[in-house]
Amino acid sequence: MPGIRLKENEPFEVAIRRFKRTIEKAGTLTELRSREFYEKPTSERKRKLAAAVKRHHKRIRSQTLPPKLY
């Protein structure tokens, strides 16, 4: 579990922001959300495959030249 130490004379809001950043970098919140409900192995595979296809199409779209508009 990520944690932070409060620095001397540090405002609470700044410490909260730093804590949120460390949680985000560690991936704790995303893992918690994914484990909140049970996901069947077939559903997980299907979701991951759809994400991979989407990434692939996005990569192809960014590498190809745009069509000529004239």
- Residue 1, pLDDT above cutoff 80: no
- Give residue-wise pLDDT tens across range 9-40: 999 999 999 999 999 999 999 999 999 999 99
- Residue 60, pLDDT above cutoff 90: yes
Residue 66 is predicted with a pLDDT of 85
Report domain extents, the chain: 12-54
Whether this model's pTM surpasses 0.75: no
Pull the structure tokens for residue 35.
């484990």
Q: What is the 3-state secondary structure (H, E, C) of the chain?
A: CCCCCCCCCCCHHHHHHHHHHHHHHHCHHHHHHHHCCCCCHHHHHHHHHHHHHHHHHHHHHHHCCCCCCC
